[in-house]
Amino acid sequence: MRYSQLTFFFLLAWGAVAAAQPYPSKPIRMLIGFPPGGGADIVARQITPRLGEQLGQQVVIDNRGGASGNIALGMLATAVPDGYSLMLTTPTLTVNPALYPNVGYDSLKDFAPVRLIASTAYILVVYPSVPAKSVQELVALAKAKPRQLNYSSGGNGAAAHLAGALFGSMTGADIVHIPYKGIGPALVALLGGEVQLTFSSQPSTIPHIKEGRLRPLGITSAKRSSFTPDIPTIAESGVPGYETTAWYGVIAPAGTPALVIARLNLELTKLLDQTEIKAAIAAQSFEIMPSDPRQFGGFIKTELVKWTKVVKDSGMRIE
In this predicted structure, the answer to whether residue 288 has a pLDDT above a threshold of 90 is yes
In this predicted structure, the answer to whether residue 6 has a pLDDT above a threshold of 60 is no
Tens digit of pLDDT for each residue in 121-136? 999 999 999 999 999 9
If phi > 0 it is left, if psi is from -120 to 50 it is alpha, else beta; for residue 66 that is left
Contact yes or no for 135/217 (Cβ under 8 A)? yes
Of residues 302, 290, 301, 305, the one with CA closest to residue 115: 290
Tens digit of pLDDT for each residue in 212-256? 999 999 999 999 999 999 999 999 999 999 999 999 999 999 999
Query: 163: part of which helix (H) or strand (E)?
Result: helix 159-171
Contact yes or no for 316/136 (Cβ under 8 A)? no
Find the largest Cα–Cα distance for the chain. Answer: 69
Q: pLDDT grade, residue 183 (50/70/90)?
A: confident
In this predicted structure, the answer to whether residue 95 has a pLDDT above a threshold of 70 is yes
Distance CA 203, CA 120 (A): 10
What does residue 71 show for φ and ψ, rounded to 5 degrees?
Answer: -65, -50
Of residues 230, 166, 160, the one with CA closest to residue 195: 160
Tens digit of pLDDT for each residue in 259-276? 999 999 999 999 999 999
Domains of the chain: 5-120+245-314 (3.40.190.150), 121-237 (3.40.190.10)
Residue-level pLDDT at 4: 57
Calculate the average pLDDT of the chain. Answer: 92
Residue-level pLDDT at 180: 92
For the chain, report the end-to-end CA distance as a whole number of angstroms: 46
Mean pLDDT of 193-213: 95
